[in-house]
Structure 1
């Protein structure tokens, strides 16, 4: 993973959404505005580039802590991961934020031994029960032994490439939680399912499988990942992401409990259109939700002072910086 630390290399902003107000940049002034924005809002923001796949997920929903996560998938080398860990160690992070990274299995020990304790480690998968004669699998007990605190379960690539079904994933989540491993529970629909109007049906069915098996929700973060927005040339809009978040929270309220619905964090994970940079600000039920996807080669935010973006001061500076350069529309 090549690292970038200069804001002049950032692709341009394509838009902002703030509450019910939509804001769109004057494209003729985008580059200077982008540079001006980073210089004045947060001069310490660093971005790093990955050739494929790696993505940042930044969001808050429910009443829990702000959550920042990065799934490194099957990417990286010892040297590139050492560089990424070094950048993460230099990041300034607020105390009320959960920051989680998910390296490939073979590098978990390297990352754990060199990464600040402030950032927690997630595995990208785990076995459905106690370890044993299961070639190629990783047990929850082994993950606990090397210091993992989280595991990603139900990721679309596990569902649709490996063939894991809803019930199997729900059982894996239950076992991980029973062994004190926190779970990032992934849900999301494929392109043909969205086009057929089955988005909610698919997501609710996946949620149902989790709800049938997990003993509780205190250590679960739900990650909505629209499969159709990955590698298809299609983009998930702020409205599309938000409508699923709201629907899932409503499903939790009706099928689990109002308390779980109000407390459970729901995050967005996905790769945006490969020639587009999106910085999307969304309010969900009066809670700040932020999705930050910065791409041309798909940048991964290294989180230096990133939590600044959730503050009210940020809103004020956005308005001040862009008020003369933005065309507004409903």
Structure 2
């Protein structure tokens, strides 16, 4: 898949983001720093064999950079989209260790995760750098999966909604249109801990996020934007979370590393 094909695939993803006036669910697997290229191909092959192409949810997988092209090739002919875990806001230059939007498009990516809590916590990601990355991704034709969420300290301190609002305002600063951004609410205290927000807690925050998007852009933009839940979603709790009116899918971590558990979440989205 070349850059033009990747952009066309991203456009197809966007055009099918609503079904019968309703937001289409999206299940994205974030493989994080797991899976060598050979291991990633095995997982991609297993997913390809499991997915029928008639699922109610859109499916995206985000392998490490070294596995993007092998996974792209393994998924060829399937309905599964390819995403990356980050990008830089510059097109090229002396930015050792970084990757550009053009590189991702050339590798066949249609989506890219931006502002993940682990990037914020360990690698000094800020609302300002998230903003630059969002602008670059949208300009390049990639679909950003823009992550937001509070820590346990912030939630227990009664600041969860203020923190999330600030992240949204900072990430979308100066942007007249949210474009075709997908949001992912990831309560940091529920990532990789086995602890997760109740469906009611998650819905409360998702509804707040949608209201905030309406205030930043418009009610129409807010109504059309998909908001994923990203805090330890698994096959056994996915149905309850995905049944909530403002939860439009999941950004899946650990459960995305096994084809059967990941597909269990995809089925729950149906």
Q: Is 1:168 matched up with 2:129? A: yes
Q: Which residue of 2 aligns with 1:64?
A: 23
Q: What SS does the aligned partner of 1:212 have?
A: coil
Q: What SS does the aligned partner of 1:160 have?
A: helix
Shift of 1:128: 1.4
Q: Which residue of 1 aligns with 2:71?
A: 111
- Cα gap change, 1:259 to 1:176, in 2 (>3 Å): same
Shifted more, 187-196 versus 115-124: the winner is 115-124
Quick check: 2:27–2:250 contact (8 Å CA) kept in 1? no
Quick check: 1:185–1:223 contact (8 Å CA) kept in 2? yes
Counterpart CA distance in 1 for 2:259 and 2:149 is: 21
Q: What SS does the aligned partner of 1:184 have?
A: strand
Q: What SS does the aligned partner of 1:222 have?
A: strand
Shift of 1:239: 1.4
Listed one character per residue, the Cα deviations across residues 185-227 of structure 1 (whole Å, up to 9, x for unaligned) are 0000011000101111111111112221445334211000000
Larger radius of gyration: 1
Counterpart CA distance in 1 for 2:206 and 2:259 is: 23
Listed one character per residue, the Cα deviations across residues 163-183 of structure 1 (whole Å, up to 9, x for unaligned) are 111111111111111111110
Structure 1 stretches lacking a partner, 5+ long: 1-59, 312-330
Q: Which residue of 1 aligns with 2:181?
A: 220
Counterpart CA distance in 2 for 1:304 and 1:159 is: 29
- Cα gap change, 1:251 to 1:92, in 2 (>3 Å): same
Counterpart CA distance in 1 for 2:83 and 2:255 is: 26
Q: TM-score, with normalisation over the residues of structure 1? A: 0.67
Counterpart CA distance in 1 for 2:108 and 2:254 is: 31
Shift of 1:161: 0.6
- Cα gap change, 1:209 to 1:294, in 2 (>3 Å): closer
Which has the bigger relative contact order, CA under 8 A and spacing at least 6?
1
Per residue, is there more helix in 1 or in 2? 2
Per residue, is there more strand in 1 or in 2? 1
Q: TM-score, with normalisation over the residues of structure 2? A: 0.81
Q: Which residue of 2 aligns with 1:32?
A: none
- Cα gap change, 1:88 to 1:215, in 2 (>3 Å): farther
Q: Is 1:140 matched up with 2:101? A: yes
Counterpart CA distance in 1 for 2:210 and 2:202 is: 13
Size of the aligned set, in residue pairs, is: 249
- Cα gap change, 1:296 to 1:167, in 2 (>3 Å): closer
Quick check: 2:134–2:171 contact (8 Å CA) kept in 1? yes
Q: What SS does the aligned partner of 2:146 have?
A: strand
Shift of 1:306: 6.2
Q: Which residue of 1 aligns with 2:222?
A: 261
Quick check: 2:27–2:252 contact (8 Å CA) kept in 1? no
Listed one character per residue, the Cα deviations across residues 41-98 of structure 1 (whole Å, up to 9, x for unaligned) are xxxxxxxxxxxxxxxxxxx999432211100000012332222111111111326632
Q: Which residue of 2 aligns with 1:81?
A: 40
Counterpart CA distance in 2 for 1:279 and 1:290 is: 9
Listed one character per residue, the Cα deviations across residues 7-29 of structure 1 (whole Å, up to 9, x for unaligned) are xxxxxxxxxxxxxxxxxxxxxxx
